[in-house]
Amino acid sequence: MSKAKEKEKEKEKKAHSDAKIHKHTAKDKRKTFWIKQNLKKKKLEKQAAPQKQQEKPGPPREAEQISANWKSLQQILKSSQPEKKHQNGFTTKKHQENAFQRSSVNTAAPSERDSGKKEKQKTVPVDPKEAGEKLKLPAASDSQQSAAPKRKKDKNMPNSEEEGPKKKKKKKISLVEERKPTEDDLWFDDVDPDVIEETMGAEAAEIMRRKQGIRSKEPETSLVKESAFSGITQTVAIDCEMVGVGPDGEESILARVSLVNKFGKCIYDKYVKPTEKVTDYRTAVSGIRPEDIKDGEDVQTVQREVADILKGRIVVGHAIHNDLKILLLDHPKKFIRDTQKYKPFRRIAKSSRPSLKVLCREVLNVKVQQGEHSSVQDAQATMRLYTLVKKQWEAEISGRKKNKESEEKKKRKPR
């Protein structure tokens, strides 16, 4: 009996183990099945992905592809937008024509678009309205295709078509400005050289004087208007001469002050008594000698008198900040006209800080500061430079003033 029971138990164990093996095999089969399915899906997705990537337009690699890709991008954007409808729900004829043009352009091959060949597309009319619309299309497509070579021409241009003539205009203007007058330009001989100097410049006046046999004016006569008003005017010019004090004469003190009116007539000219021991008179430049300033005017008196003249008036000078600094005076910026800082004079002299000597030679055709300087002559020269360009200079200042006022008004307005 015991042997029979042992056999039965062995049989049950075998059956139990067979059942477990069967279960494991079924699970494994299911797993393998689903793994295979997932792999297939992944393969299909990988195959589909490059196709989608190929459909998307990539960046242009050649110059010929730029215009075609730009067109295709515009067409994609237009096609993605919904058609605009009126309130009653119907589309207009223009929108229908535009939609048909887009579809006809999209169907065209890229090689045809790039080459720019004018080939009319054949369409089969279905309705009379559609036929009428299709007949209009070839002209529009031709115009679109002809636009591509125009863009290629634009690329070869420097920036754009509009910039070319602008640059040419600038060149013409600079040529007119740089050109000097000749005897052929002054064909007339019955005009006063002084009038020509005011309108055409000093060089033209010099040519006219040579033609008429008139001797060229000396600096004193060309910078001053004879028989003109000799009193104080609303515009005055100032210039100062200085001498050196201290070790090696490095520091400067006031030695002479000169003021002229707008006609170049001297209205104030005084030597100043030194407050310190003078170590360098700088005679070669300043023209000051010991006997000139020995019995000069007191500095404080000169400061007060000059301040009274300058008060409320336009003051002209060359590097005028130096003159005001040595006088220990201040003047409103809006009433100062500095010939060294005037931009047109800088352009003529080709320098950011042109000297008075250079400006007189280039602009007035007058030689000044040949030897010892004279504060009266320097003030006359600065005034002559100012009066020559007074209209233009004052117009620029008034224009800037108006712009500032308009900007301030805009800021004040509440938003």
Give 94's pLDDT tier (boundaries 50, 70, 90). low
Percentage of residues in the chain with pLDDT exceeding 70? Answer: 63
Higher pLDDT, 148 or 253: 253
Query: Is residue 204 situated within a structural domain?
Result: yes
Query: Is residue 266 situated within a structural domain?
Result: yes
Query: Is residue 84 situated within a structural domain?
Result: no
Q: 239 has which bridge partners?
A: 258
Query: Is residue 112 situated within a structural domain?
Result: no
Written as six digits, the tokens of 6 are 């042992």
Q: β-pairing, 251-260 with 235-245?
A: antiparallel
**CATH, residue 290:** 3.30.420.10
Count of structural domains within the chain: 2
- Which pLDDT belongs to residue 29? 80
Query: Is residue 42 situated within a structural domain?
Result: no
Lowest mean pLDDT among 133-147, 207-221, 353-367: 133-147
Q: Does 301 lie in the same domain as 203?
A: no
Among 335, 338, 339, smallest CA distance to 312 is for 335
Most confident of 9-23, 201-215, 331-345, 366-380: 331-345
Residues present in the chain in total: 415
Query: Is residue 335 situated within a structural domain?
Result: yes
Q: Does 372 lie in the same domain as 331?
A: yes
**Within a 13 Å sphere around the CA of 312, how many CA atoms are in the beta-carbon half?**
4
Average pLDDT over residues 164-172: 44
The pTM (predicted TM-score) of the whole model is 0.50
Please give the Cα distance from 128 to 88 (Å, whole number).
24
Predicted confidence (pLDDT) per residue in 235-251, tens digit: 999 999 999 999 888 89
Query: Is residue 363 situated within a structural domain?
Result: yes
Q: Does 261 lie in the same domain as 373?
A: yes
- Which pLDDT belongs to residue 142? 45
Q: What is the Cα gyration radius of the chain?
A: 46
Give yes or no for residue 221 having a pLDDT over 70. no
Angle between helical axes of 93-107 and 128-156 (0-180°, round to 10):
60
Q: How many helices (H) and strands (E) are present in the chain, helices listed first?
A: 17, 6
Query: Is residue 26 situated within a structural domain?
Result: no
Domain around 310:
235-405
Average pLDDT over residues 281-289: 91
Q: Does 266 lie in the same domain as 366?
A: yes
Predicted confidence (pLDDT) per residue in 257-279, tens digit: 999 999 999 999 999 999 999 99
Give yes or no for residue 305 having a pLDDT over 80. yes
Q: Does 268 lie in the same domain as 191?
A: no
Give 381's pLDDT tier (boundaries 50, 70, 90). very high
Please give the Cα distance from 415 to 15 (Å, whole number).
94
Please name the residues in contact with 185: beta carbons below 8 A apart, sequence gap of 6 or more: 204
Average pLDDT over residues 6-31: 70
